[in-house]
Amino acid sequence: MRHHASVLLVVTGSLLLGFAGCASKGPSDPAQQSIEPVIEGYIRSHPEVIEQSLRALEAKREVEEKARQKVTMSNRQNDLLNDPSSPVSGNPSGSITLIEFFDYRCGYCKRAAGAVTQLQKDDPRVRVIYKDFPILGEPSELAAKAALASKVQGKHQAFHEALLASKGDMTKETILAVASDVGLDTTRLESDMTNPEWQTVIERNRALAKDLGITGTPGFIVGTEFFPGALDLIGLKALIARAGHGK
């Protein structure tokens, strides 16, 4: 691999030199014409070098994106941790905060839901902040508005867990049926859902997710670390253990 990389550097350097002279020497420059068959022949004989280079470029971009994301999370800590519109569960005064961007229709969010709930029961240090991030269409947005509106009746956590545990699609009828099952006044909830405040909360979460480079659900944040995808209880506890080292 080192041999291939070295050769590629030489070839690339020659290619760049050839291109650099095009403006002054013209496209018919003999030096350029002589090197082009060499480059083409090497690429045809060693296509894996191109693949290796693309992988290295992708890895470099991932590292750069993570670094950018880390800085952005540091700069947006107040929005992540102190938005009064974001539902909170677990220990409200907990020393470690887990933030979840989620969608009620997301199968991976449903898969991770039990672990998030159990984590709060097992570790009294944990505070969980929920960022409604409906990315799967209007039914997801409707469910998010219903969940946010349920805070008015003080039953968000029970409703939140029930929505994630539900199997049906998120129509108004199914959402209200789940609400009834957890003891919500559905008439009041249906009225509270129309409050434009919930749309504002959702749009604010979307803008925050975009700034952080979060494009899917679920997405977990602890401190300035972002972890995409469904995590089981062991995975979540490992995150908390790293964040809580020394606490």
* Domain end (from 66, 95, 110): 66
- Does residue 153 sit in the same domain as residue 91? yes
In a domain? residue 73: no
Long-range CB pairs of 30-39, under 8 A, 24+ apart, other chains included: 38/11, 38/14, 39/11, 39/14, 39/15
pLDDT at residue 247, as a whole number: 54
* CATH number of the domain where residue 82 is located: 3.40.30.10
Domain that holds residue 200: 78-243
Mean pLDDT value across residues 103-110: 97
Query: Residue 72 falls within a domain, yes or no?
Result: no
**148 and 212 both lie in a single domain:** yes
Q: Of 105, 233, 230, whose CA–CA distance to 166 is shortest?
A: 105
The answer to whether residues 190 and 210 belong to one domain is yes
Which three-class secondary structure state does DSSP give residue 99?
A: strand
Determine, yes or no, domain membership for 93: yes
pLDDT of res. 36: 75
Q: Which two tokens stand for residue 56?
A: 């290295």
pLDDT at 4 over 50: no
What would the mean pLDDT of 114-131 be, rounded to a whole number? 97
Which residues of 54-162 form beta strands (DSSP E)? Answer: 88-90, 96-102, 126-132
pTM: 0.75
**Radius of gyration for the alpha carbons in the chain, expressed in angstroms and rounded:** 26
Would you say residue 171 lies in a domain? yes
Residues 125 and 193 in one domain: yes
Q: In terms of domains, do 55 and 91 share one?
A: no
What are 183-241's pLDDT values in tens digits? 999 999 999 999 999 999 999 999 999 999 999 999 999 999 999 999 999 999 999 99
Q: Do residues 103 and 43 both lie within one domain?
A: no
Look up residue 137 and give its amino acid: G
Structure confidence at residue 135 as a pLDDT band (50, 70, 90): very high
Residue tagged 């496209």 (tokens)? 27
Is the pLDDT at 118 greater than 60? The verdict is yes
The token duo for 240 is: 């908390």
Query: Do 86 and 44 sit in the same domain of this protein?
Result: no
